[in-house]
Amino acid sequence: MNTQLSDVKAIFSYRKFWAQRFGTAPFLPMSRTEMDELGWDSCDIILVSGDAYIDHPSFGMALVGRLLESQGFRVGIIAQPDWQSADAFRELGKPNLFFGVTAGNMDSMINRYTADKKPRSDDAYTPGGEPNKRPDRAVTVYAQRCREAYPGVGVMIGSIEASLRRIAHYDYWSDKVRPSVLINSKADILLYGNAERALVELAHRVAGGEKLSEIHDVRGTAFIVPHGWRPNDEWEEMDSTTVDVPGRVDAHPDPYAMSPADNAPKDAEPAPVVQTIKFMNVHERVAIRRAQRAKTVVRIPAFEAVAYDPVLYAHASRTLHLESNPGNARALVQLHGDRDVWLTPPPIPLTTEEMDFVFGQPYARNPHPSYGKAHIPAWEMIRYSVNIMRGCFGGCTFCSITEHEGRIIQSRSEESILKEIEEIRDKTDGFTGHISDLGGPTANMYRLSCKDPKIEKSCRKLSCVYPDICENLNTDHSSLIQLYRKARAIPGVKKINIQSGLRYDLAVKSPEYVKELVTHHVGGYLKIAPEHTEEGPLSKMMKPGMGAYDKFKEMFERFSKQAGKEQYLIPYFIAAHPGTTDEDMLNLALWLKKNNFRLDQVQTFMPTPMAMATTMWHTRRNPLKKLARSSEKVDVVRDGYRRKLHKAFLRYHHPDNWQILYDALLNMGRRDLIGYGKQHLIAPTPPGSGRDRPGQRFNVARTAHHPTQRFQDAPPAPRGKPAAKTGGKPAARGKPSGRR
């Protein structure tokens, strides 16, 4: 059963009444009092989340809640509960069907800790930005508390935290391989990826009397079964070592091969009848193979094996990524002890009509009233933005978007997007005519897809744009250009910025798009992410070389000049990514200085569950290639000193980094980069030491108008007076030097 969301018309009668009276849909209840106001004696489904409840489609809890509500289910919300006991999980009573548990929009460990494993001081998804409002590994903790609150009630887990932990995975924070989140959470079922279709089907089937723990035929789900379990006798098991290469070459029958009867003597006994070979056409063979794949499960190495064998871990990771295309992916199974964790094939992407239905629900577009006027940073960031698409075919190894949302782009219609902009204009408090973003995981993949659906369904490439843009990829940006123009024409809309990350190697394929973007939708700065300049780390990231960046930069500057605007690119780079040597980071630092970039905020690589780069980090193997004991070893920056050094190279200009860079350059035999000239990276003496270059002092005040907020050298001190000393501390903010 694959329920078509757009066909469902069931809407609660109170919704229409509330909308007529108050101009908006009611919030989903968070208390017994709110349930009483709605006339409910119980909830059918209760959603538990680590985020504050904000009724906006950019927040998964609201999107899922409104979707289930549209199906006629009574949905309650338990947001950021006190997990120290089960009391908070009894707030709304016992759900009639099941609990739906998520950690929120972010993985709870990434939300709570930095790349250096230090606790964060704030939480963007909590009122007031207050930290520590969710536990570590929130999905597991919440699911256990739901079980404790109401034993026997079904528990479903989902969201990005559960999705990226659906099999055995390396956990950066404990530095070990952990089992599937299903094992520790004791949940009945896990939904991974974009799970709307699966969620609707499961909810209706449970309402029809089926047990959540016994539903094993829905795509995009994972569950625990006895070892060796099969849906029926038609299923076959295949060992993952037979699919460790993308695709398979079948031996074709030789049409010129002669049967033994052709050479038999005239007076010989009659030869046995030889069955005539029927040569199947391509479509018949594809159909047969597809039918076989649909009844095949691929067994990847067991948890106990991958936990101690890096090569097997890398192999399992590679296999999972190769089996990620909904058009040809097979089911996967992994042994944990004496039980199997079974994964059905990935969910079929939503159609445009279904996307419109999901995003077209009557969201209140505000935080729940119980938060009062508390500042919620994540809400402030997206309140005037519109999500126009999902998915990403970039396949960057350090990013989890592709693993979670898939490579196939799911786009909303123009009508749906323009309607949401009008709703923001008419219903969102504080709107001044400025739409902060029209985007998604990537700014410019709207309606981009494979030119041939048949090729798309059979493709097993991990990226559509690496090492080069696939010849079968449609890179026409005309739909996005048209959308921008129509959005700008809406009365009351004064400005639309694009803040989602831009895929510039795609953008340069459409100069018209770059011109449209630069002329109308850049608010002074535009974020792009080269991530690095050197081939070594770029090949491990699956990112393009700097040639595409240079081409885009030329277009950006040319069109900005034509528009009469002074605008800047903000490049993002990653320090300490697997495959990065000290020399790579030095070369990146030299590139930054040559191009006059002085970065302020930089990021150090953080290994996140299921990402290919995380596999490199943990195993020191490259899962982008076929694996063997003798396969390529990846340079991994794990120790604290090298991680600090790589980050320091990105901020070569900062006084605090002088000593570590000075020592590193000497150790690397690059004394030639120490001096006062343009060709030098750092000075021979510490900034602010009183031994600086005569007539100069180092001012670490930020440059207010430059996109990278680089640090500037202050003007020379007046002749005859000593330069002001900073003592190594930031000097007072002064006027920018105007240097570009």
Cα distance between residue 569 and residue 566, in whole Å: 11
pLDDT of 698 above 50: no
Strand partners, 428: none
Between 438 and 13, residue with greater pLDDT: 438
| Residue among 386, 414, 294 nearest 348 (CA) | 294
Tokens (6 digits) for 280 = 């199947």
Burial of 728 (0-12, 13-18, 19+ CB in 10 A): middle
Instruction: Enter the pTM of the model.
Output: 0.85
Q: What share of the chain is helix, strand, coil (3-state, %, to 5)?
A: 35, 15, 50
pLDDT for res 287 = 62
Between 700 and 174, residue with greater pLDDT: 174
pLDDT for res 393 = 96
Residues of the chain with CATH 3.30.750.200: 524-687
To the question of whether residue 392 is assigned a binding role by annotation, the answer is: yes
- pLDDT by residue (tens digit) across 357-375? 999 999 999 999 999 999 9
pLDDT for res 285 = 60
pLDDT of 267 above 90: no
- pLDDT by residue (tens digit) across 24-60? 458 999 999 999 999 999 999 999 999 999 999 999 9
- Given pLDDT bands bounded at 50, 70 and 90, which one contains residue 241? confident
Strand partners, 526: 569
pLDDT for res 468 = 94
- HSE (CB half, 13 Å, CA atoms) of 234? 6
**Across residues 676-699, what is the average pLDDT?**
71
Cα distance between residue 10 and residue 465, in whole Å: 42
CA dihedral in degrees (636, 639, 645, 650; nearest 10)?
50
pLDDT for res 631 = 78
| Residue among 202, 181, 200 nearest 64 (CA) | 200
Q: What is the third-level CATH fold of 524-687?
A: Transcription Regulator spoIIAA (3.30.750)
**Across residues 428-453, what is the average pLDDT?**
95
Residue-averaged pLDDT of the chain: 86
- pLDDT by residue (tens digit) across 557-567? 999 999 999 99
- Given pLDDT bands bounded at 50, 70 and 90, which one contains residue 98? very high
Cα distance between residue 399 and residue 646, in whole Å: 20
- pLDDT by residue (tens digit) across 299-355? 999 999 999 999 999 999 999 999 999 999 999 999 999 999 999 999 999 999 999
Contact in structure between 40 and 94 (CB atoms under 8 Å)? no
The lowest-confidence range among 121-125, 284-288, 315-319, 676-680 is 284-288
- pLDDT by residue (tens digit) across 391-427? 999 999 999 888 899 999 999 999 999 999 999 999 8
- Given pLDDT bands bounded at 50, 70 and 90, which one contains residue 8? very low
What residues have CB less than 8 Å from 216, skipping those under 6 apart?
223, 225, 231, 342, 344
DSSP assignment of 588-616 equals HHHHHHHTT---SS-EE----TT-HHHHH
To the question of whether residue 399 is assigned a binding role by annotation, the answer is: yes
pLDDT for res 286 = 58
Total count of residues recorded for the chain: 740
To the question of whether residue 470 is assigned a binding role by annotation, the answer is: no
pLDDT of 714 above 70: no
**Across residues 238-242, what is the average pLDDT?**
85
Tokens (6 digits) for 477 = 């940006």
Cα distance between residue 174 and residue 159, in whole Å: 21
The CATH code for residues 384-521 is 3.30.750.210
**Across residues 253-264, what is the average pLDDT?**
40
Residues of the chain with CATH 3.30.750.210: 384-521
